[in-house]
Structure 1
Amino acid sequence: MTTQYHPTTRYTSTTAPGALPLLGHAPAFLRRPFAFVAGLAAHGDLVRLRLGPLDAYVACHPELVRRVLADDRTFEAGGDADQGRRAFGTGPAGCPAAGKRRQHQLLRPAFHRDRLPGYAAMMAEEIAGATASWRDGDVVDVPSAMHRLTTAVTARCLFAAHERADSARFRACVDAVAGNAARRSPLLPPLPLRFPAPFRVPSPFRFPFRAAERIPTPVGRRLGRAERDLREITQRHLAAYRTAGTDRNDLLSALLSARDEHGQGLSDAEVRDQVATVLLNGVEITATTLSWAWTLLAANPAVRDRLHTELDTVLDGRPARYEDLPALPLTARIVSETLRLYPSAWVLSRTAAADAELGGHRIPAGATVLVSPYLLHRRADLFPCPDRFDPDRWLTTAHPAPGTYVPFALGARRCVGEAFGSAEAALAIATIAAHWTVTPTPGRPVRPARGSALSPRPFTARLTRRAR
C-alpha cells in the first residue's frame, strides 16, 4: 500500500549504474530494453539516466508516477505527443495539455457507459464475422488475425452504417498509418537533443521522418494513399451524417453531437483527427492485448480450463453479449492481467515545463521525465510474483492504489476509450475461447517486438475447435 504523495516527502534518488563514456545508458537500453527498464526500480524511487549528452529521470515509485501523470501543467507531454501530432493531427494523442481537456470533454460522451451496450452489439457481430472463416486445424498469424478483427470492430463502431466495401480500405489505411507511426517511434524515448551550432549532428535518438516522407519511395506513396483514403472515407461519412442529422448510436454520431462548455462542437478537421486517433488506438492496443492473451492462456492450461468452464456455463455455446460481462469475472481478470504484463504503451515521456520538484528532488526545466507502466507492473512489492500470469491476483487487487496500475495512463491524457477497449477485449476472448483453442505453434517463444509499443513479434497458432 502506497502513501499519499506530499511535496515535503523525500523519496530516494540516484543515477543508474553502468553508464558508458559519452553514450551513457543508451547501449544498455537498446540491448535489453525491457529488462533494463524493469530493473531500474531496484536503484531508487527516482532514477537518473544518461542518454547520450542528456539526462532523463525515470519515476519508479507509484506516488511519483501519479504526480507526473496527473500534473500535466508541470509535466507536459513529451516526445510521444510530438509523434502523436504527426500521426494524428490535433486528436487526443497529439494535442497540448490545454487542448487535451477540451478534447476529453468532447470525447467523453462518445465513450459513456450508456453507449457501451450499443457498441458491444456491433462488436459481437464483427467478432463473429471475423472468425466465421476459421476452420479446425487452421494455422493463423495471430497478431494479423487480431488486427483484422479489431479493425473491423473499430470501423463498425465508428460508422455503424459503413459500407462493407470500406472495410478493406480501412484495414489498408490502418496498416499503413500505424506502421509509419511505429517507424517514427524509436525504441529510445524521443529526446530534444541540442548540440552547439558548430557541432550539430543528427540525433542518434531521432530520425528525419518528415524529410523521408517527402521522398517518393514506395512506403511514402503507400502512406500518402492511406492518409488520403482515410480522409476521403471519413469526410464522406461525415457529410452524410451532418445531412441526415440523426444519431446512429455510433462514435461518429456522438462526436458530431458533442459540445464544449461554450456550446462549440468539433470542426470537420477535428472530427477527422479524432477518427484517425480512435481507429489507430482502438485497433492497435486491443489487437496487441488479444495477441498476448492467447499466448498467456496457452502457457497456463489450468487458467484456460477454468475460462472454458466459465464460458460454457454462462454462454452455453452462443456469442458473448455486453450483458454477459458481469457474469464473466475470470474473463475480465484475464484482460486486466494481460494489460499488467504487457501494457501497450510501456514507456511514456513527459517534459518539465519549468524547474520542478519531484519527490524532494529538483527537475530542471526542459528535462525529460519517463514513466514506465511495464516497470511498475513488474515490481514485486506491488504485484507478488510479478512475472507470473495470475488473473486471480485481481480478486484482492480490484482497486490498486493510484500510480500502481497504469495501462491507460492517468490524468488529462488517460485513455478516454478505456472502458470501450476493455469491453471489446473481454467480448473477443469470451466469444473466441468459447469455440476455439488457440495454441501457438512450437518453435521460438513469443517475444515482444523491439519498439515503442509492447506488441508481440509475428507468430502463428493452430486453431482447434472445442467440443463442449
Structure 2
Amino acid sequence: MTNQASIPRAPGSFPLIGHAPSLLRSPLSFLSSLASHGTLVRVQIGPMTALVVCDAQLTRQVLLDDKVFDKGGLLYDRVREGFGNGLALCPHSSHRRQRRLIQPVFNRESLARYADTMTEMIYSTINGWVDGQTIDVLAEMQEVTARTIVASILGQTFTENELSAMLRDFGTLSRGSYRRMFLPPSMAKLPTPGNRSYRAARARLRQTLTAAILTRRSGGTTYKDLLGALLEASPEGERLTDDEVVDQAMIFFFAGMESTAATLAWSLHLIATQPDVEVALHREVDAVLAGAPATVSFLADLAYTRKIITETLRFYPPGSLFTRVTTAQTDLGGYEIGVGTTIICSPYLMHHQPTNFSAPYVFDPSRWNETPRTEAERASFIPFGGGPRKCIGDNFGMMQAVLALAAIASRWKLTPVPGAKVRAGVRTVVNPQGLLMTAASRCAHDGSSN
C-alpha cells in the first residue's frame, strides 16, 4: 500500500483556509472537477485534510463498510449539533438498534397508509394556485412536504403560524450546518448574529417537538406512526428518553421535508427546459389519471413520471456530499488510510462522471428505460446513499415525489418567469434558489379534463 501523503492534492488551495471558498461558493462544480486528478484527491479545509473519493467502486467500498467508514467528519459532526443523534446521523455503535426500532414505520403497510395523506396535502396546496399566478416553487414544495411529514410521520397538527416558523427554523439549521463545516469550533461558539439565529432555531424546534411528545404521553393513546413507534419502543428494557425521541423527529422532519421538496422543485425546473419531456409527462398523467386525483392506486402506471424523478435525483441529488471518518487503518484504492481520516463522498460527483453515465449533463429521463443497468451505473447512483446506512425513507420520498409531480402536471403547466435566475443553494440539501414560475391551468388553456 502507498501512504496517503502521496494522494494528489486538488488545485486552488488558499493559505490557512485551503479549499473552503470553493466548497462554499461553488461546491457542485468544484466537486465534479476533482475526478480528473485521481480516484482519491486530497482537499484542505482550514487546517484539516480530507480525502474525496472520485471512483464508483471505492465509493461503494466506503458505503458498504460502515464500521470502518463510520458516520462522522465535517458534515455529520456539524449536523449533529443542530439535529441531534437520530438514525441518519448516529455512529455505527448505535445504528443497528435504532434501525430495528424504526424499520416497521416504513414497511409496505405503513407506506400505503401515508399515501392517502400525501394526496390530501398535495391537493390542498396546488388547489390554492390561481391561473397566471407567479409562485416560489421551492417554498410551495416545502409546504407540501412539511404538511405531509407532520400529518403522516409525526401525527401532529400544528397551526399555520407554527408550521411556518418550523419551516424557517429548519432552513436556518440547514444553511448553518453546511457553513459551520468550514468554521473552526471556536468561531462556531461566538455570539455572532448567525450563531445566535442558529441556536435559537434549534431551541425552538426542540421545544415544539418536545411539547408534541408530552401531549402524546399524557393522552394514553397508541398511534401507528413514527412518533407512536418511538414512544412505545423499549429497547433493552428501557424506554427512549424524550430527548432521544426528539432527535429522531428532528432528522426525519428535516430529511423528509427538505430532500423531497428540493427534488420536486428541481424536477419542475428541468421539465420546463425540455418541451419533449413535458409533453410526454402530460400525455402520461392525462391517460393514467383521466381527471382523478393522483393516488397510490395509480403509482405503478406512472412509469415515465417516476423516471423523471429518478433522473432529477441523478442530476441534482439532494446531498452534494457526505462525510465519513475511519475507525481503523484500512486500504482504499491502494492507499494506506490511517485512523481518524475524514473521507468525503459526493453523489453529485458520481452522477456527473462520463465513465458512470453517458452525457451526464443532459437531463434525460429515457436513460432509465427498462434496460439492463451497467455495473458503473448501479454502483454510482447513490442519491439515498447506500449499504447499511442507506436512507430508510427512500421509498417514502419516491412515492411522495411521484404522486406530487403527477398531480401538478395533470392540472398545471409551469413556465419560468422571464429573467429569473435559478442557482443551486449552498446548504445541507442542494435546492434551487430563485425558482419563480408562472402557473397556467391546463384545464383553462388546453382543454384538459383534469
Q: Same fold (TM over 0.5)?
A: yes
Q: Which of 367, 370, 376 is the equivalent residue of 1:393? A: 367
Q: Is 1:323 aligned with 2:317?
A: no
**1-structure distance, mates of 2:36, 2:266:** 27
Indicate if the aligned counterparts of 2:119 and 2:403 stay in contact, CA closer than 8 A.
yes
Determine the C-alpha separation between the residues in 2 that align with 1:404 and 1:117.
30
Q: Does 1:360 align with 2:330?
A: no
Spell out the pairing of 1:277-356 with structure 2 (5 A cutoff).
Answer: 277-356=251-330
Paired amino acid for 1:443: G
Structure 1 Cα separation of the partners of residues 194 and 280 of structure 2: 54
What is the distance in 2 between the residues matched to 1:215 and 1:455? Answer: 20
Whether 1:121 aligns to 2:116 is yes
Return the match for 1:235 from 205, 208, 214: 214
Q: CA deviation at 1:17?
A: 3.6
1:114–1:250 distance in 2 versus 1, CA, 3 Å = same
- Whether 1:61 aligns to 2:38 is no
The one-letter amino acid paired with 1:166 is: T
Q: TM-score, normalised by structure 2?
A: 0.89
Task: Please list the CA deviations of residues 125-178 of structure 1 after superposition, one character each: whole Å capped at 9, or x if unmatched.
Answer: 111112221111111111111111111111010244x34x53541331232134
**1:30 Cα deviation from its structure 2 partner:** 4.2
- Residues 1:97 and 1:372: Cα distance change in structure 2 (over 3 Å): same
Alpha carbons of 1:217 and 1:50: their partners in 2 closer, same or farther (altered >3 Å)? Answer: closer
Deviation at 1:351, TM superposition (A): 1.3
Return the offset for 1:45: 1.1
CA contact (8 A) 2:258 2:429 kept: no
Post-superposition offset of 1:83: 2.4
The alpha-carbon deviation at position 446 of structure 1 amounts to 1.3
Letter in structure 1 aligned against 2:82:
A
Q: Which runs of 5+ in 1 are unaligned?
A: 1-6, 192-201
Task: Indicate which of 395, 409, 416 corresponds to 1:440.
Answer: 416
Q: CA deviation at 1:320?
A: 0.8
Matched, 1:418 2:394: yes
The answer to whether the 8 Å contact 2:154/2:249 transfers is: no
Post-superposition offset of 1:263: 6.4
The Cα shift of 1:185 comes to 1.8
**CA distance in 2 between partners of 1:20 and 1:172 (Å):** 38
Give the match's secondary structure for 2:8.
Answer: strand
User: 1:160-309 to 2 correspondence within 5 Å?
Assistant: 160=155, 162-163=156-157, 165-186=158-179, 190=181, 203=184, 208-212=187-191, 221=200, 223-240=202-219, 243-245=220-222, 247=223, 249-258=224-233, 262=236, 266-309=240-283
- CA positional deviation for 1:360: 1.1
For 1:289 and 1:334, the matched residues in 2 are separated by 10
Q: Which stretch of structure 1 is more off in the superposition, 439-448 or 307-316?
A: 439-448
The 1:217–1:48 alpha-carbon spacing in structure 2 relative to 1, beyond 3 Å, is: closer
Distance 2:379 2:169 in 1: 34
Q: 76, 79, 98: which is aligned to 1:81?
A: 76
Instruction: Tell me if 1:459 matches 2:435.
Output: yes
Identity %: 35
2-structure distance, mates of 1:157, 1:63: 37
- TM-score by length of structure 1 reads 0.86
Structure-2 separation of matches of 1:207 and 1:338: 38
- The equivalent residue for 2:36 is 42
Distance in 2, Cα, partners of 1:219 & 1:24? 25
* Counterpart contact for 2:319–2:383, Cα < 8 Å: yes
Matched, 1:72 2:66: yes
- C-alpha displacement at 1:461, in angstroms? 0.9
Letter in 1 for 2:211: E
In structure 2, do the counterparts of structure 1 residues 80 and 324 end up closer, same or farther at CA, with 3 Å as the change threshold?
same
Query: Does the Cα contact within 8 Å between 2:134 and 2:439 map onto a contact in 1?
Result: yes
Provide the secondary structure at the position in 1 that maps to 2:418: coil
Change in 2 beyond 3 A, CA 1:225/1:52:
closer
C-alpha distance in 2, partners of 1:437/1:120? 24
Report the CA distance shift for 1:444/1:137 in structure 2 as closer, same or farther (over 3 A).
closer
User: Quick check: 2:174–2:429 contact (8 Å CA) kept in 1?
Assistant: no
Q: Which range moved further: 451-460 or 217-226?
A: 217-226
> Superposition RMSD on alpha carbons, in Å?
2.8
Query: 2:343 matched to 1:369?
Result: yes
Secondary structure class of the residue paired with 1:345: coil
Secondary structure class of the residue paired with 2:97: helix
Amino acid corresponding to residue 169 of structure 2 in structure 1: A
Give the aligned partner of residue 384 of structure 2.
408
Contact 1:56-1:369 at 8 Å conserved across structures: yes
**For residues 139 and 176 of structure 1, do their structure 2 counterparts lie closer, same or farther at Cα, with a shift above 3 Å needed?**
same
State the distance in 2 between where 1:371 and 1:111 align: 26
TM-superposed deviation, 1:269: 3.0
**Shift, 1:24, TM fit:** 4.0
Q: Is the 8 A contact 1:62 1:403 kept in 2?
A: yes
Instruction: Return closer, same or farther for 1:436/1:263 CA change in 2, 3 Å cut-off.
Output: farther
Size of the aligned set, in residue pairs, is 439
Q: Which moved more, 1:79-88 or 1:124-133?
A: 79-88
Residue aligned with 1:14, SS: coil
Q: Name the CA distance, whole Å, in 2 between partners of 1:326 and 1:288.
A: 23
Distance 1:398 1:375, change over 3 A: same
- Answer whether contact 1:213 1:220 (CA < 8 A) is retained: no
Distance in 2 between residues matched to 1:386 and 1:437, nearest whole Å: 27
Deviation string for 1:44-96 (max 9, x for gaps)? 11112233433211111111101112212211212322223222222123322
Uncovered stretches (5+) of structure 2, i.e. residues with no partner: none
Alignment partners' CA distance in 1, 2:15 and 2:175: 30
For the residues of structure 2 that align with 1:216 and 1:208, how far apart are their CA atoms? 9
Residue 379 (1) aligns with residue 353 (2): yes
Shift in alpha-carbon separation, 1:381–1:427, aligned structure 2, 3 A: same
